[in-house]
Amino acid sequence: MDIARGSHETVDLYGAVAGKTSIASSCLLARRLVERGVRFEQIFHEAWDHHGDLVSGLKAVCRKTDQAIAALVEDLKRRGLLDDTLIIWGGEFGRTPMVRGGNNGRDNHPNCFTMWIADGCHSRPLRIALPTAWPAAAEALARIRSTSTLLADW
């Protein structure tokens, strides 16, 4: 993909650099594919598995991803494409609440992770924070029939 073919304003919005593979370039490509009618895309970004040096590790990864993801949402919205697009962002698992040893890291928490969605169809944000390892969360999940029903009821 030649990102130099795009406007400098758009490339800067994403934080993409010509000739460099990055989450920014991937998000820009995703927007271009949406414009061309591609119905499903997946962007993969690694380096979230911080078992040590959590603070500096997360700052570095978030710096790389936040600008690009925010640009994707904003760019789709500006172009009128967000109304027909659903963005689902998710991690593979969460982190335990306690610090692991003295290395400022945390262990994996496979029953609690973060996801968010963005689209142009819902006027209010949908927030669900239900770690399934907690009994109250398990009861709440049992009451939710399906995501589509939850969104329709929202």
For residue 89, list its beta bridge partners: 116
Q: Binning pLDDT at 50, 70 and 90, where does residue 81 land?
A: very high
pLDDT of residue 123: 57
Average predicted confidence (pLDDT) for the chain: 77
Give domain limits for the chain: 3-121, 130-154
Q: Binning pLDDT at 50, 70 and 90, where does residue 2 land?
A: confident
- Contact call for residues 64 and 17 (beta carbons, < 8 A): no
pLDDT at residue 33 greater than cutoff 60: yes
User: Distance (Å, rounded) from C-alpha 117 to C-alpha 111?
Assistant: 19
For residue 118, list its beta bridge partners: 87
Element spanning 89, H or E: strand 87-90
Nearest C-alpha neighbor of 77 from the set 125, 26, 118: 118
pLDDT at residue 153 greater than cutoff 50: no
pLDDT of residue 60: 87
Phi/psi at 78 (5° precision): -60, -35
Nearest C-alpha neighbor of 129 from the set 116, 146, 143: 116
SS3 4: helix
Phi/psi at 11 (5° precision): -60, -40
Q: Binning pLDDT at 50, 70 and 90, where does residue 68 land?
A: very high
Q: For 94-98, 99-103, 125-129, which range has the lowest pLDDT when averaged over its residues?
A: 125-129
